[in-house]
Structure 1
């Protein structure tokens, strides 16, 4: 089957040759330079080919021009890129490598990949600062990909293993085209992207979507502090800012106003942005915040124009949204195909009309989507979905733990966080529990707060009382 994405990128990179395509704090590449580097890196990848099937290449790094080069190189080499969240730890990375049958891993030089890789391919200079390693082989044959799969991305699964979503080339291209069309993205736009390219927020809004009309993509490194944001906006003359709600909340808390002169739109997604924060951000900076709703399995779904009354906007082109007593169900041209490593799970979430059950609850008011809650148990922390049951099971494995409950809570700023109340034997501390969790979980799944008790409070039928657990946290915070 002929791949779609290599041709789409080739067309864009050729048409916009001398325009700036992508930058980071150290490098700026024009469209022509990006094409040349990607082709050279693709030629290198081709030397590592495996017989009988496309090469499976994991990308495990933070945003950079080198990351974009590596992604395009995988596509040009006829390989399938697997975009792993750089926040995944060795435990989850090893599960991904095993579940998905990765052949190579492109990673930062200091990434902890020893459990996964067996050989550093030191001659891969075409990837800049990133390194290419051969993944440790297992006896199990890799699960077969669908014939039209061109990209794989991950979402948090309920089993502790990140679910690997297969996407066809047409689905990825449709996500980019419909986003550009639905939001008015043009060649004059300069996108300051503070979200990881492995995440749907950035992947769908700031990669191929930027390149199709000839816009430029500007990437930051390190934690997105207020000073870094200002430097990025001022140095690039950004017209769009793409970030998670936590960044906008940080700007509001610090009353940061510098660098926003040229920004015409700030795009937020991953978790609901409170109306008070959105309004205060716009008051401080003069920049409207456009909420965007999407799910990893179905791509970008809605976009809010001029606030849309605090909702998440109206459906993008190629998207159908149903909101009723069954929850929010969606059908889009950018739908994933299935979970490679969880057979049947994706299919169970699709109704007989081909609509994906998102697990969110909400309603449509004058065509604008408003969220009201979750139908499932996953907790949305900073745009990442976390299963509290998984965290509870990890805590219960720690020596000295009698029982544990992980659940959604709020910090002092009103942000959603993951909390854990743990019944322990004498001598066990919160720091020891944090160390235990950090050894087997990525950093974003480690509870924000641990509260230690002698016994977990339960309700009348013997189940943990979340209401009483929340009260314990509130009482502890006020003391």
Structure 2
């Protein structure tokens, strides 16, 4: 049985069948070609699902290309539930997601870690399919679940968020209405399609609107970005702050940016000085997109400016500040949206625990609303409990970064062999920097209970495709 998301996407693909849908470095596929390829790929999977049968769980682990929406649509059209893996995940994250979510098949365009899946069978283009192997839990999916995406959250391993078809289409509809996305828009996307930034602003809304989605390959250096802009003539640009920082490192004019009506940044707020410089130098206002994996897209600003924060709530989004909070002062922010996830499949009760009686989700962010615009000031609930004492990991990390030779640091909670919790830290530094020297440096600057008990020196901190620390990989280095 197929669901609402497949039906809505199939209808749009048929309606716009003669229009270009997706371009990548290898060429262009029309809406009709995407639909045809998806149906063919669905048939080649040979799932043969019967009514009432437990739906297959298909993980999609692939980079940006026209094959990505084909694979996603093939899974949806076959009646299976797609699970969107970050293609930058390592062995730890992939093994954890397969094991804890009961994955059956993996659609992938690159080799998988040994032991995670059986032999690969080639499909269309670079796509391959493999059967998951090894012991797996099989938590029951909600009947309404049509798609699953992941967030690292606070669990240290990929937490799988279940979404109904209503929630996914609600996110896209909210984005279409709130941002004015049109069929004649051309979206140039530098974010990975499994990430919420691309999924919720470019992939699903673009396909439903009849827009053209241009998928860029390679690193978003200024020269690379501008070459794609010249080739595709986009009206919308989607990327992370590093893309815009790269543009600012360029001193030459960039008249090709003048055709971009909407530029979107996410992952972390764009520094105000960068935002002003982009306007002054290129006439390019950039909107800070605010969204959360569990709740979908939340804000947008049609007139972005540094003093306007993250913009206004999208249609179907409500923010709540605790009663009694002083106007303009930071307070915990809760939100309710039409695109909310249902729960964590592999962490029962955790998401529900963060909902109040009215269904508002506690974001973990602090900020305030001013003239209907959201302004963030930081994170709440960031402390680690070490023996009954609260430790601010950011404070410890800042001290670690002052050690000679250390370029970066990550502080997190780890588990001892006896099951108790302890403070751990990874520091990025050359091999000649030893843990004894790092610990001695900390002992001179921090209270004893703030000195990490577990400490490791590495070449670099494990990070995701958008630069966020991979907590599961970091814990594996400290607890292994």
Using the size of structure 1 for normalisation, the TM-score is 0.80
1:398: which partner in 2? none
2:416: which partner in 1? none
1:233: which partner in 2? 229
Specify the SS of the correspondent of 2:298. Answer: strand
Which of 286-295 and 89-98 deviates more? 286-295
Question: CA separation in 2, counterparts of 1:283 and 1:429?
Answer: 36
Residue 197 of structure 1: which of 193, 196, 218 is its match? 193
RMSD: 3.1
Q: Deviations over 1:319-339 (max 9, x none)?
A: 001134551100000000000
Matches within 5 A, 1:118-129: 118-122=118-122, 124-125=123-124, 128-129=125-126
CA contact (8 A) 1:90 1:113 kept: yes
CA contact (8 A) 2:367 2:374 kept: yes
Specify the SS of the correspondent of 1:117. Answer: coil
Q: Is residue 208 of structure 1 aligned with residue 208 of structure 2?
A: no
Question: CA separation in 2, counterparts of 1:338 and 1:290?
Answer: 29
Question: CA separation in 2, counterparts of 1:432 and 1:92?
Answer: 26
1:17: which partner in 2? 17
Question: CA separation in 2, counterparts of 1:418 and 1:359?
Answer: 24
Question: CA separation in 2, counterparts of 1:27 and 1:153?
Answer: 28
Structure 1 173/329 Cα, relative in aligned 2: closer, same or farther at 3 Å? same
Specify the SS of the correspondent of 2:289. Answer: strand
1:150: which partner in 2? 146
Question: CA separation in 1, counterparts of 2:315 and 2:428?
Answer: 52
CA contact (8 A) 1:224 1:247 kept: yes
**Runs of 4 or more off by more than 4 Å in structure 1?**
48-51, 408-412, 431-434, 458-461
CA contact (8 A) 1:60 1:83 kept: yes
| Structure 1 residue 54: Cα displacement | 1.1
1:54: which partner in 2? 55
| Structure 1 residue 299: Cα displacement | 0.3
Question: CA separation in 2, counterparts of 1:156 and 1:351?
Answer: 22
Q: Deviations over 1:191-227 (max 9, x none)?
A: 0001111111111001120122211101011222222
Structure 1 408/341 Cα, relative in aligned 2: closer, same or farther at 3 Å? farther
CA contact (8 A) 1:226 1:256 kept: no
Question: CA separation in 2, counterparts of 1:64 and 1:131?
Answer: 14
Q: Deviations over 1:60-108 (max 9, x none)?
A: 1211111111011111111111111112111111110101111111112
| Structure 1 residue 406: Cα displacement | 6.6
Q: Is residue 360 of structure 1 aligned with residue 361 of structure 2?
A: no
Q: Is residue 307 of structure 1 aligned with residue 304 of structure 2?
A: yes
2:97: which partner in 1? 96
Structure 1 19/429 Cα, relative in aligned 2: closer, same or farther at 3 Å? closer
Question: CA separation in 2, counterparts of 1:346 and 1:267?
Answer: 28
Using the size of structure 2 for normalisation, the TM-score is 0.80
Aligned residues: 416
Question: CA separation in 1, counterparts of 2:437 and 2:80?
Answer: 47
1:165: which partner in 2? 161
Question: CA separation in 2, counterparts of 1:159 and 1:331?
Answer: 22
